[in-house]
């Protein structure tokens, strides 16, 4: 009965295993979370389980931008006040949240749901690229901003899409990389510093 992972009860171990499936949560943390849920009232436990089922059932990709939403068309795509001539292409839904927090960007988004990474088996056909091309057909879109991370996969995806989209007559831009605001030169890594130098602006 007393094993390496003794947790007192099988249902508790099963719950801990569910928590351990989540990214960044190891078995020890997962056990702690499972014990914590045991201190919930019946209503709280039900609310947690229902939140999982409800979110999983009702949330899907927006038909236009592919961001996660519980409507057919997400609030951003259905907002008449936004600039439809610009599409910001991002890796995932959390990048949309990040840009929205700036409260400055008023254009549209397109969520790829991943980055090209052949080593992980993620080829361009696994991403929502066809859906992006379809949005460019009307001629309404003037600029596509590549807002993928400055990682090898992010750069490769931006490059790939840029080559794919330019022949369609659309302006393709890339996020500026340089010193983060408030940074101290001395502590900046060399790649960032090089990017900051390369992309310098006249003042």
Task: Select 30 or 132, whichever has its Cβ closest to its own copies.
Answer: 30
Helix count (H) and strand count (E) of the chain? 7, 6
Pairing mode, if any, of strands 60-61 and 68-69? antiparallel
Which of 26, 40, 73, 83 is in the footprint of its own copies by CB under 8 A?
40
Q: Which of residues 49-108 bind its own copies (CB under 8 A)?
A: 49-56, 58-59, 67-71, 74-76, 79, 92-94, 96-97, 100-101, 103
C-alpha 177/C-alpha 198 separation (Å) is 9
Q: Are 165 and 112 in contact (CB under 8 A)?
A: no
Pairing between strand 68-69 and 107-111?
Answer: unpaired
Kindly state whether residue 29 participates in binding its own copies, applying the rule CB under 8 A. yes
Where helices occur in 105-151 by DSSP H, the ranges are 129-135
Please identify, using beta-carbon distances, which residue of 58 and 151 lies nearer to its own copies. 58
Shortest reach from residue 157's CB to its own copies, in Å: 19
Q: How far is the CB of 151 from its own copies (least distance, A)?
A: 17
Of the candidates 1, 11, 4, the one whose C-alpha atom is nearest the C-alpha of residue 38 is 11
Which residues would be at the binding site for its own copies (CB under 8 A)? 1-2, 4-12, 14-15, 17-18, 21-25, 29, 31-38, 40, 42, 45-56, 58-59, 67-71, 74-76, 79, 92-94, 96-97, 100-101, 103
């Amino acid at each position: 009965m007393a094993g390496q992972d003794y947790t007192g009860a099988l249902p508790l171990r099963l719950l801990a295993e569910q928590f351990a499936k989540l990214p960044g949560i190891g078995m020890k943390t997962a056990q702690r979370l499972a014990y914590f849920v045991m201190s919930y009232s019946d209503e709280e436990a039900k609310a947690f389980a229902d939140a999982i089922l409800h979110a999983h059932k009702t949330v899907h990709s927006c038909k236009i931008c592919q961001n996660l939403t519980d409507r057919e068309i997400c609030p951003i795509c259905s907002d008449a006040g936004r600039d439809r001539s610009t599409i910001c292409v991002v890796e995932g839904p959390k990048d949309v949240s990040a840009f929205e927090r700036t409260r400055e960007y008023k254009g549209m988004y397109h969520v790829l749901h991943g980055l090209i990474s052949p080593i992980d088996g993620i080829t361009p056909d696994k991403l929502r690229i066809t859906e992006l091309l379809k949005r460019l057909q009307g001629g309404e879109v003037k600029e596509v901003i590549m807002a993928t991370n400055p990682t090898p996969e992010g750069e490769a995806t931006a490059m790939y899409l840029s080559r794919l989209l330019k022949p369609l007559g659309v302006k393709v831009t890339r996020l500026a990389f340089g010193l983060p605001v408030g940074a101290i030169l001395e502590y900046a890594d060399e790649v960032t510093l090089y990017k900051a130098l390369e992309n310098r602006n006249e003042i």
